[in-house]
Structure formats: structure tokens, C-alpha cells
Chain A
């Protein structure tokens, strides 16, 4: 159906998304340039030398452009056909990191490849997971209104997430929760969303409030509901049991689950970060993992845990309404924000261009996301739609978490800002995600299986 001649190359491809993509990558390079800028060096030379991060990012971008064109030239059927294989390959690569892995910034999730570049399989696995999820749901025999299908899909998603946790990449693992968007769109009961949301609220409340106070509040709420609906209970005795069991679960969460998560699942530094965000102190003595690694922690903990967030907020806040101007941010020039070219890249933008800059930037992102949703909804094939929602979810999750963390709304987890943060793996992943979607969209009239 598709002719690969020059006339038709761009036919059906969504130009708005490509335009937005190019703008984002350009903004990203500009931001990295602001971070790396050194008035004592001749920057026009260093753009080409691959010695600075912005010049490296340019080479990454050029490489990604080739990959993008290559993807657009492929046949859409390739993606459905290869989705199973690629997923297995991705999982194998992730397993390989445990053997070949190179330690970068404390996580052993990188595989060194030629030329001093490193590959992070967990990043690529997002694509493969999106593909296999789409493939699974679009299969005619799958009835996604059934619990069994939900569990199978959940398992596909959770496997790479668990592997990521084992690589100490909590941030990447969390990203997999983004697939809930796609699943929800395909029929996941909203109750699950509501339950997850309630759980999150409960965890935060547990951290913020005294457990006793919180227990009383919950009991009062439960009591009020029972009083209010007392007539209905006369007809339906089960619902009172439901409310009571929810009430019990809440108690369990406050008393056992939350402490368990913080003391046994999370690392000491992660718990500390989350607590410090709430303005509290976490006693690492309670953390099971810290018992084994006390010595290591002592060495690594140099600055107070909220140092990153503090400096990041100062950078963004000092931008004010209009910003301090291009290359004039003192926080950026003085290198006060750690990891500013990767996870905290948003700060250089916020400092230089102020609220005007950040607002415009978020507007671009929002437009981008809504555009992707629109693309998703115009697909005829389930495969394409599921895949599209997966891409929306991944992008949205990265953006929301990264920016929240920069402005102190979320604990610090290592998640890059899509298309902006420095890093070849991350740029490549998002490029592939977007362009596979564009390829599928170009064939939206076709029904893929």
C-alpha cells in the first residue's frame, strides 16, 4: 500500500510532531550549551570538537536523525512482527548488564560500546515493552476486559521494571508505571486507577501527618460514610463490609506497608530524599539495606540530601518573571546545580528565561502530548493506538516527574527530561519512540495485527 518513492516519503507523516521534535532537540542543545558555556573558550570551535557535552549532543542528534529517517522508510509491519523478539532481546540485554555492566553514577546499568559511548538497555526496553504491550492487546484473542489479560500485560511491564530496580535505577523502573495510560484506555477498570491514586495519597499523608492523627481522621471519614449511607446498608449488607475492609487496609498501609516500603524496599538515600522533601528527617538506622552498606554510604554522602533540590529551586526561582538572560544565570555559570546538564537541565532554562520561558516550554510540551493523543485516537488499528498511548504515557511521566523534581514537588529520582537532557541513550530512545509512532500513523488506514 505504501510506495517508497520520494513523492510519498512524507505522505501521511505528521509534520507538526516532527517540527515539535526538532524544536525540542534544538532547545535541549541550547540548554546544554548554557550549562557548559565557558567565556574563556572559543565556543564556535568547541561546537565541532566533540569535547564538550553540547557538541556531543549535536552528534547524537545527527545520528538520531539518520535513525529517524531509517524508521520512516521501514514497513509498519516490521514493528508488529518484531515486537516479541525485540522484547526478549531487550530483557536479555538488561540481564547482560549484570555481567558486562559498567558502573556510572552508582548504577550498573550501562553496557560499554565502541568509541567511549555507553548504552543503557533499560532505556531501549521502554520501546520494546511498548511494542509488545501493543501487540498483546491488539491480538484478536485478547479480551482486555478480563482480569487475566490485565495480569499478563502487567507482568510484561513489571519484568523490565524489576530488572531496573535491581540495577539501582529506581527512576527508570517507575517509568514503566506510565503504561497504565495505555491499559486504561484499552479497558482497565477505573477502580484500579482510583485505588492507586488513593494509595499514593495515603502514603503521602502518612509521611506528612502523625500516624495517630491520620488513623483518627480515617476512622472519622469511615464513620461519616457509614452514617450517611445507613439506609442503603439495610438493603445491602455487603457494602458495609466493603467500607470496613477499606478502612482496615488503610490502617494496614499506615502501620505496616509504608514503613516496610521505606525501610525494606527503598535504599537509605531514597528514603532520606523523600522524607527531606516533606521537611522531615529519616533515620537510616531503620533501613534494612543500610545495615549492610553503612561504610559505603558514609563515603558517598557528602552534601546534605536536599542540596540538589535547594540549588535547583534557587536557580529556577532566581529567574523570576523574565529570567536573568541568556548565559547570565549565576547558578548555572557557577555550576551550583549538580547534574545540571542531565536530570536538572530544566533549571538552566528556568534561570535564563524565567517564568516566561518555563511557561512557554511547558506549553510546547503540552501541545506535543495533546497532538500525540490526537494521533492515537485517529488510529484504526488497536496496535497503533496502544503503542501511541504508551508513548504519551512515557513522555508524560518523564516530563511530569523531572520537572516536579526540579521544583521540589517530587523526590529526586534520576529521570531525564525527554529530548532536552544530555545523553545519547535517552535521546535515541525518545527519537525511536516518536518516529515509530509517526511511521504507524502514516499507515493509519491500514489495520495492523
Chain B
């Protein structure tokens, strides 16, 4: 009977055939048309170990290393292998208790599983390292691993150099295409950030096979895909470490900034911002202790005032104002103004420091004596230029000049986050004064003496001096002169810093007049008592009113008068007259740079100057309230004082605005000297710190237009 079913053999074959076809179809889809499985397999099994190259080193102009790499040791542990550890001894060496030990082991397991190494303690001190190394056989599962960290032999230029830190999620998102991974270190600020691709070098990758528990099985494909690490390249800057150190020393216990540029190249010789910090505080195991404190300090020690601080230039602006008027043909060098001690052409007279007749008989004299009336007049002439019949057009022309001088725009220095400061736009005035028709040169009169809404960064001021020194051009200010093994790409990047910027076509004789005037400042004028032994120089003092308290002390200069090689701008916040504080600082910096050394007399002066405490009271009171000594200046730093660890609990004590007044009162009644050392430091907490009295003073001062 079964014979009748013979065709069923065929049907069975067909069924089998169909099922096999389905299997093969799925195999085709899985093996040929899906790339994700290959990827998933690699993710599973290939462990990439990154080999970090040494970062490049940054040198000053004399090839002194501003920063170096040193080796630091970490203690790592593989929890699974940490059996029979002499925990007593280990805890004793590391100075931790047993509970901490178990906690860290558990953290390590959570972070990296039992079979992979995790850091148990990072950045061991030399002593701890030696002790551990000797006894390592007692601690199975523990290993010592090296890592390279930065160190700063001169303890200087923290703001310029910036720091290196572990990347965070934010950073990874921003730099997604650059191949960073969790746990990598990267330059976060300063030159470290700007030249990161060059300093970083090229990371090497070694691939290992690992099994389903994460255990390493051996090299993947015998290492044919592995790449070698290529060390970062060194960079050579135009900085002078001694001038830098001097600038930082002179600025200590003050808030402010100093910038020195070589006008011949645009290379920055020194850039100091005070209060600063010792860059060594942000490396290794010090970092954790320091960073919170730096971020919370009311004087903002990590803020680079040289490129971010916005200061009204005050009288230091006058030479530029005069230059504009000369070029516009509105005045001649012989132009004089009969100043009687105030300027009243706009009603509400603006005060001038000088009363003697003839102190503004010509441009040169007016510059030397810094006559407010003269430059207010010159400013009004520029704005109300008869050529334009319109204050707005006149203003725009005037502003165009300033932008050409590098004010009110980013210069493009090779540091991240430069501020453009402010040369106000006509739109701002039109809005505030109810329309373009409704304002004229009297409305922003004090722009003529660098006040009103005009602000500039110290870098911009120094650059403007370089422009004057060069009689009409400048190079974009920069730090890096050359890069080791410069390639085409680097050349393109540095090209910007090697080409002359010559936007204006102002005749040389006008510059000569200005230079003469600025030279007179140092001979018969406001800076007559500041000398640079062996060199004539040109300068301009500035005493700028500001909404934050006492006048800022400013000083700009370049030297030597003929063929200048250094241009300097110094700002000391809330210090008083420009010639009293900023002037000597700039003078000493020039002396150091030009003569390579200071005279005995200058050394004494420098010593005295560095000890002067010009910290605003509000900042001092903040330190008193928080039971802190102020942030140590870099040069003074020593280990004992580092023991003073920032206590996070103090955060809660940071007083609300109301409490500030009480404290201020209390301080008035305290004996004059606050804590032991003179307080170095920083910037006023603007919101909280304005003394009502000072506010009043300021209000009146603004009217008087003091220079």
C-alpha cells in the first residue's frame, strides 16, 4: 500500500530543501549583509590599550623649559588577585584605615571589574613610592605604574601655560572627532589647550585579546595592528622667564596684570595676571586640593586678566586719540588749548589736574602733562568733523581707527578665550540716548580720555603701544615663535603671527610727534621720576575711574625710544595713580628686559614694591570671614602653606550679600593688619563689595573726569 505514497518522498525532499533555503538565507543576511556583528565581536574581544606619548615641552626665548614632564607613580590593584595582602602594613604606608581600604577595593570592582587593574592611589609621593616598592611582595595583586605629569621648574606663568587635566564628558562631546577617550588627559587652558594637537603627539595603541571575563589572552593578531606612540613636539616661545617672574613678583598682593610685547616680532615677553597661583599646584595629587579653592576664591586667581580683564584705559588712551586727530587733519602738532583747569564746553565742567597756563600749549606738552581738557577737545573735534556733518559718521570713522589699532576686537593671540573688551558701537548710544539724532560729541565726551564705555584688555593696550613703537604696524601678539620640526601645517598656522598688520596709513611724522610727547612724559611729565638706566623711553600714565572702587592705576610704555624692542602695559586695579604703582612695575620690567639685570637700587625698589599690599578691603574681608590666607603668589609658594587645605564646608559660610556689610564694619574696628602675612591677591567681588561711600565718590568722580 505504501507504494501509492511514493511521491511523498519527493515532497519530503522539497520540505527539507525549503528549510535549508531559509537557513541559508538567514546565514547570508547575518554573515554577508550585517557589518554590526563584526563590530560587536571586536568590541567584545579586543582590548585597546593606549600608550601615551610624552607631551611636548614649552621653552622660553633662552631655551629654558617653562614646564617639563616628570614621572609620578600610581598604585593599581587587580581585586581578584589581591588575596593575602598585608593590609595593616599597606594601610600604614598609605596612611588610610581599613574601612577606606575595603571601600576602595569595592570602588575598583565597580569601576573596572574584578579582573582588571584599577588605580588604588594616584600620584604617590617619592617616599611612599619607595616604601611600597620595597614591600610590594607583601601586597599581591598590587602594582606600581608610571605616569608622566607636568612640572614647572620656575613656578611661573600659570595663566599662560594653562593646565592639563582628565577629560570629562563635556570635553569628549565637544572634541568627538579627535579620538579622545574617557581617562585621557588633555590641555584645558592656555598654551596647553591652544597647541594641544602639537604638544600631545600621537597616541599609540596596542590591541589585546580578552576573554568573556575581561582577562587578557595575549596580543591581537601578534600586534600587526598596533601603532607606536609618537612624542609630542616641543614649542619655543618668545617669553622671558625672568621678566615673567619679576612681573609676577611685582604684582603680588595686588590685583592686576602686566603684559610685555616685543614690537619687532609681536612675541609676548611676559604676561602676568595677579592674583595667580603656582602651576605646580594643579599637577599630581595637589590638583584635587587646589582646584576647588582656586575656583571659589573671590579674587579669581585662575582668571587671566591680561586677556580677559576689561579696563577703561584712562589717559593711556590719549596718544591714540591725538594720533587720530592728526591723521584726520583736525589738528597739527602745534595745536594748543588754553586749559584753565577744567573743560566746560559741554556744560558741567570736567576737571583737569593742571592749572598753570600753557601746560597744553601744543600736543607734545599736552601729552607730557596729560591735560584732560586738551584731549576732550580733540575728541570732540574728531566726532564733530565738519567733513561729515553728523556725529554718528564722525564717530564711526573714529571707531574704525581704534579697531585698526587692535582695540575693541579680538587680537587673535594664541591663547583660548581672549576677550574683545569694548569700543562702544553707535547703536549702543542711539539706543540709550533715544535715537541717532539725539546725541553728539558731548554725550560721550570722556571717551576722549579713555573713560565712558571704552574698555581694553592689558594685552590690547600693550599691542597698541607696539603699534606706536613701530610707527604704524604690529604683529599679532603671540607666544610661540617656532615649533620643533615645523611642518607645512604648522607654518600655515603660525603664518598669522609672522605677518605684519598694517591697516592704517598714518604718516611717520605724526608718530614721531606722539613719541616725543610720550618721551616728555618720562622727562618732564607725569612719569618723570621713573627711569630705565641707560635707556630713553616713551610712556603714558593712566588713572582710570571705574565702578568698582578706587581708580585703576595704568601705565603703558615702550623702550628704547629709538628702535623699541619692548612695549609694556600694566594695570593695577583700585590702586590709585598710574605713575605711583603701574609705572614703576613697567619700568622695572623694561629695565630687566633691556639690561638683563636690575641695578641694586632697582632691586631694592622691586623688593619694596612687591611687598606693598594693595588688595581691596572687600577681598581681605572675604579671606578673614572664610578663615583663609589669601591665595599664595607663585613665587612665595612653599609646602607648609599647602597644608592649608580648602575645606568644602566653608562654602556654606560664604555670606549672602547682606552679611558683607556687617563684616566690613567689623573689619574697620580690627587692628590694621589682618592675618600674619601681607595678603596677596585678587579681584573684588563686584556685587558684594562696593562700599556705599565709594559709590558716591565714584559718582562724583565721573563728573569730574579725573585723569
> Which residues of A are at the interface with B, using a C-beta cutoff of 8 A?
39, 143-145, 181, 184-187, 311, 313-321, 328, 330-331, 333-336, 350-351, 354-355, 358-359, 362, 365-366, 369-370, 373, 376-377, 382, 385, 389, 392, 396, 400, 403-404, 407-409
Which residues of A have CB within 8 Å of B22?
409
Q: Which residue of B lies closest to A323 (CB)?
A: B31
Dominant SS among interface residues on chain B: helix
Could you tell me if B31 and A185 are in contact, using CB atoms closer than 8 angstroms? no
Q: Does B210 contact A (CB under 8 A)?
A: yes
Known: A317-B36, A320-B31, A409-B22. A370 touches B1 (CB 8 A): no
Could you tell me if B23 and A403 are in contact, using CB atoms closer than 8 angstroms? yes
CA distance A237 to B217 in the complex (A): 74
Could you tell me if B41 and A314 are in contact, using CB atoms closer than 8 angstroms? yes
CA distance A354 to B33 in the complex (A): 12
Which residues of A have CB within 8 Å of B2?
144, 185-187, 382, 385
Could you tell me if B44 and A317 are in contact, using CB atoms closer than 8 angstroms? no
Interface centre among B5, B31, B37 (most CB of A within 10 A): B31
Could you tell me if B27 and A333 are in contact, using CB atoms closer than 8 angstroms? no
Chain A nearest Cβ from B46, distance in angstroms: 7
> Which residues of B are at the interface with A, using a C-beta cutoff of 8 A?
1-2, 4-6, 8-9, 12-13, 16-17, 19-20, 22-24, 26-28, 30-32, 34, 36-38, 40-42, 44-46, 209-212, 217-218, 220-221
Could you tell me if A373 and B9 are in contact, using CB atoms closer than 8 angstroms? yes
Could you tell me if B38 and A143 are in contact, using CB atoms closer than 8 angstroms? no
Interface centre among A143, A334, A400, A408 (most CB of B within 10 A): A334
Could you tell me if A330 and B44 are in contact, using CB atoms closer than 8 angstroms? yes
Which residues of B have CB within 8 Å of A318?
37-38, 40-42
Could you tell me if B28 and A330 are in contact, using CB atoms closer than 8 angstroms? no
Known: A185-B2, A334-B210, A373-B9. A400 touches B41 (CB 8 A): no
Which residues of A have CB within 8 Å of B220?
330
Which residues of B have CB within 8 Å of A355?
27-28, 31-32
Interface centre among B9, B22, B23, B28 (most CB of A within 10 A): B23
Could you tell me if B27 and A407 are in contact, using CB atoms closer than 8 angstroms? yes
Chain A nearest Cβ from B488, distance in angstroms: 40
CA distance A396 to B38 in the complex (A): 30
Could you tell me if A317 and B31 are in contact, using CB atoms closer than 8 angstroms? yes
Known: A373-B12, A409-B22. A187 touches B1 (CB 8 A): yes
Could you tell me if A330 and B42 are in contact, using CB atoms closer than 8 angstroms? yes
Known: A373-B13, A407-B30. A185 touches B8 (CB 8 A): yes
Could you tell me if A144 and B217 are in contact, using CB atoms closer than 8 angstroms? no
Could you tell me if A184 and B31 are in contact, using CB atoms closer than 8 angstroms? no
Which residues of A have CB within 8 Å of B8?
184-185
Could you tell me if B26 and A409 are in contact, using CB atoms closer than 8 angstroms? yes
Known: A317-B31, A320-B31. A392 touches B12 (CB 8 A): yes
Contact of B211 among A181, A186, A333 (CB under 8 A): A333
Could you tell me if A330 and B31 are in contact, using CB atoms closer than 8 angstroms? no
- The contact sample of 11 A-B pairs, CB cut-off 8 A, is A145-B1, A314-B41, A317-B34, A318-B37, A320-B32, A321-B31, A330-B44, A333-B217, A358-B27, A369-B16, A373-B13
Contact of B209 among A315, A330, A359, A365 (CB under 8 A): A330
11 extra interchain contacts, Cβ-Cβ under 8 A, other than A316-B31, A334-B212, A382-B2?
A145-B1, A317-B30, A330-B42, A331-B44, A335-B212, A336-B212, A358-B27, A362-B24, A362-B27, A407-B23, A408-B26
Which residues of B have CB within 8 Å of A400?
19-20, 23
CA distance A355 to B45 in the complex (A): 21
Q: Which 9 A-B pairs have the closest CB atoms?
A: A317-B37, A330-B45, A318-B41, A355-B31, A334-B211, A334-B45, A314-B40, A317-B30, A318-B38
Which residues of A have CB within 8 Å of B209?
330, 333-334
CA distance A321 to B37 in the complex (A): 12
Known: A334-B45, A336-B44, A392-B12. A316 touches B5 (CB 8 A): no
CA distance A404 to B38 in the complex (A): 20
Which residues of B have CB within 8 Å of A409?
22-23, 26
CA distance A187 to B37 in the complex (A): 46
Q: Which residue of B lies closest to A393 (CB)?
A: B12
CA distance A404 to B27 in the complex (A): 10
Could you tell me if B30 and A313 are in contact, using CB atoms closer than 8 angstroms? yes
Which residues of A have CB within 8 Å of B44?
311, 314, 330-331, 334, 336
Which residues of B have CB within 8 Å of A369?
16
Contact of A186 among B5, B23, B30, B212 (CB under 8 A): B5
CA distance A186 to B9 in the complex (A): 10
Which residues of A have CB within 8 Å of B20?
362, 365-366, 400
Chain B nearest Cβ from A394, distance in angstroms: 13
Could you tell me if A331 and B31 are in contact, using CB atoms closer than 8 angstroms? no
Q: Which residue of A lies closest to B26 (CB)?
A: A407
Could you tell me if A354 and B31 are in contact, using CB atoms closer than 8 angstroms? yes
Which residues of A have CB within 8 Å of B41?
314-315, 317-318, 330-331, 351
Known: A144-B1, A186-B5, A331-B44. A316 touches B27 (CB 8 A): yes
Could you tell me if A319 and B31 are in contact, using CB atoms closer than 8 angstroms? yes
Could you tell me if A187 and B23 are in contact, using CB atoms closer than 8 angstroms? no
Known: A331-B44, A358-B31. A185 touches B12 (CB 8 A): yes
Which residues of B have CB within 8 Å of A351?
41
CA distance A336 to B217 in the complex (A): 13
Chain A nearest Cβ from B287, distance in angstroms: 37
Which residues of A have CB within 8 Å of B45?
330-331, 333-334, 336
Which residues of B have CB within 8 Å of A313?
30, 37
Which residues of B have CB within 8 Å of A365?
20
